[in-house]
Chain A
Amino acid sequence: MKIGDIFERRQRGELTFQSIMELTLNNLEKDELLHAFLYKRPPEELMKEAQQADALWDQGIRKPLQGIPVAIKDNICVEGLPCTCGSKILENYVAPYDATVVKKLKEAGAIIVGKTNLDEFAMGSSTENSAFGPTRNPLDTNLVPGGSSGGSAAAVAAGMSLLALGSDTGGSVRQPAAFTGIVGFKPSYGAISRYGLVAFASSLDQIGIFAANTMDALLGAFVLFGKDPMDSTSTEIPIGPEPSQHNVRRIGVIKELSSLGLQPDVERVYTQFLNTLAKQYELVEVSIPHWEEALAAYYFVAPAEASANLARYDGVRYGSTVEANTYWQSVRMARSLFGDEVKRRILLGTFALSAGYKDAMYDKAQALRQWLIYEFNEAFRTVDIIVSPTTPNLPFPIGAVSDPVEMYKCDLFTIPANLAYLPAISVPAGFTGNLPVGAQFIAPRMQDYKLLSFAASLEVR
């Protein structure tokens, strides 16, 4: 049920926010198997807030997300709740304040259900890298839900919340949305404040929204967009009314994708999806020549930024303190609480920034980023929006991918939008058997409303 339908039915007296919360609590029983949540708030607290939402409604008070259960990825601060980032090093950390997004959700009447599982510090594409165990895909519990925001995706897909927040540094909202058959939206860089989001790679990180449908994601964007004095990278990006879906006539299909090793089932569903789009829109081939190298650029830029951002976890400034004979021993022992993938990326980033190698790796990656921005700009001269598959592959069994490079390739299609600061959304394109395939739409920077309203118009058809 869409959030708008809930409000209409609430108005007609056909349901209450307490009945919505009861349904949510029933669905939360599935979490014993799925492990989407690292922390769930007590049911009595949730029911009390639902009761308050009903009481306010009866007094005539209306808020945009009144009584709506929302899940928050466990790298976003909610005052008084744990914020572990899926890491042993933050196992005992309790957030002392609300992230701006959480503050806005609370002001909009949303009810925070709990904190969701993730790959440690959002580094991964399967949610298997969580120090507290993997999350399972609600569509098939032998499979991964994608990552790094796999817990948030599973929460929405299993009806354990109606909206969820994730963070998207290279596809961590869109890829799990595609793997669980729901909608995942990453806004333009700067659209949503990151104050209270634990930093991974600051030039790429964005908070994104999971929803069962695009209208709900649009509603979430209305609440969350806006410049925040606490985040100097945030900026005012309009979320309506123009440009809108009515400005989308020509859709760009990326020429280079044909050589990038799509799984045959994904390619078949994606081709059918394009055929459907072609009935309504003009499909035009566009070229982003550096699309494939974007993956390489990402794996120098993101680890380089991560190696700097994660330097603060020394057991003194942040992280569990480990007693030792000397200060540096204590620091090293605290940092040994990082998992293997985090250590791998910190070392890769340290290498990319080290003297003698920075020019060849980090600076080249930044040059490639500029190429991508240029090439997207050129493409948007001829088309209004660009389409691609969200992922090259289908959800895979837990434990099936051990090669880090194979895992990194899951983000082959989502990374370019992060590097170029662009808004992008993954929507369900179809199924092969019981497994979903996602399609990704990318819009010019700051045209988030056009992107969301266009994707929503596809659902109406």
Chain B
Amino acid sequence: MFQVSRAMLQHLALLAQIELSPEKEENLLEDLNHILKTFETISRVPEPPKWFSLGNTPLREDKPILEALSSLIPADRSEQGYVVVRRTLEE
């Protein structure tokens, strides 16, 4: 049921920004289809019961922790509150 074609693998590699040599492509195609065939059992899982709720993991208050974040930026990489990163070239 689950099958990755060569064209699909090339598309996935593009999405994931991973370069594949023809040899690696061949190996990965074989491995991925072997893995997917083994784990096809997942498609038989019925709808789960409706009771489910994580519920007991309380979330912290939704506000930024600016003090903690700013302490992570070394002074020589901070400029007007922004993090200075390497210059990069765009296509």
Residues of A within 8 A of B (CB): 96-97, 189-190, 229-230, 232-233, 235, 290, 292-293, 295-297, 299-300, 307, 311, 314, 316-317, 321, 326-328, 330-333, 335-336, 338, 340, 343-344, 346-348, 350-351, 354, 357, 360-361, 364-365, 367-368, 370-371, 373-374, 403-405, 408, 445-446
Task: Say which residue of B15, B38, B49, B86 sits within 8 Å of A405 (CB atoms).
Answer: B38
B79 CB-CB contact with A under 8 Å: no
Q: For the complex, is B59 an interface residue (Cβ under 8 Å from A)?
A: yes
Instruction: Return the contact of A336 from the options B12, B19, B44 (Cβ within 8 A).
Output: B19
Residues of B within 8 A of A293 (CB): 41-42, 44-45
Does B65 touch A at the CB level, under 8 Å? yes
User: Which residue in B13, B44, B85 is a CB contact (below 8 Å) of A347?
Assistant: B13
Q: Assuming A333-B19, A350-B16, is B34 touching A404 (CB within 8 A)?
A: yes
Assembled-state Cα–Cα distance A296/B42 (Å): 6
* Interface contact A350-B12, CB-CB below 8 Å: yes
Residues on B close to A: CB < 8 A? 1-2, 4, 8-9, 12-13, 15-20, 24, 27-28, 31-32, 34-36, 38-49, 51-52, 56-60, 65, 68, 72, 74, 85-86, 88-91
Contact B48–A299 (Cβ < 8 Å): no
Partner of A361, one of B12, B42, B90: B42
A190 and B57 contact, Cβ closer than 8 Å, known pairs A344-B31, A351-B32, A373-B52: yes
* Cβ-closest 5 pairs across A and B: A370-B48, A296-B39, A296-B42, A326-B91, A368-B45
Residues A348 and B47 in contact in the complex (CB < 8 Å), given A332-B17, A336-B18, A370-B52? no
Chain A minimum-CB-distance residue to B13: A347
Chain A residues whose C-beta falls within 8 Å of the C-beta of B49 in the assembled complex: 370-371, 374
Known: A316-B86, A330-B88, A335-B19. A364 touches B32 (CB 8 A): no
| Residues of A contacting B: mostly | helix
* A334 nearest CB neighbor, chain B only: B17
Residues of B within 8 A of A365 (CB): 42
- Residues of chain A with a CB closer than 8 A to B32's CB: 344, 347-348, 351
CA distance A336 to B89 in the complex (A): 19
Closest A residue by C-beta to B39: A296
- B2 lies within 8 A of A361 (CB): yes
Q: Are B18 and A343 neighbours in the complex by a CB distance under 8 Å?
A: yes
Given contacts A235-B58, A296-B42, A338-B18, contact A316 B12 (CB under 8 A): no
A307 to chain B: closest CB distance in Å? 6
For A374, the chain B residues whose CB sits under 8 A away are 48-49, 51-52
Residue of B nearest to A333 (CB): B19
Cα distance A438–B72 in the bound complex, in angstroms: 41
The one of B48, B72, B85 in contact with A371, judged by C-beta atoms closer than 8 angstroms, is B48
**Are B60 and A232 in contact, with the CB atoms below 8 A?**
yes
Q: Are A314 and B17 in contact (CB under 8 A)?
A: yes
Contact A300 B18 (CB under 8 A): no
Task: Give A405's nearest chain B residue, CB to CB.
Answer: B38
Give the residue name and chain of the B residue nearest to A189 (CB).
B57
In the complex the two chains form, is B31's CB within 8 Å of A404's CB?
Answer: yes
Q: How far is the CB of B74 from chain A (nearest CB, A)?
A: 7
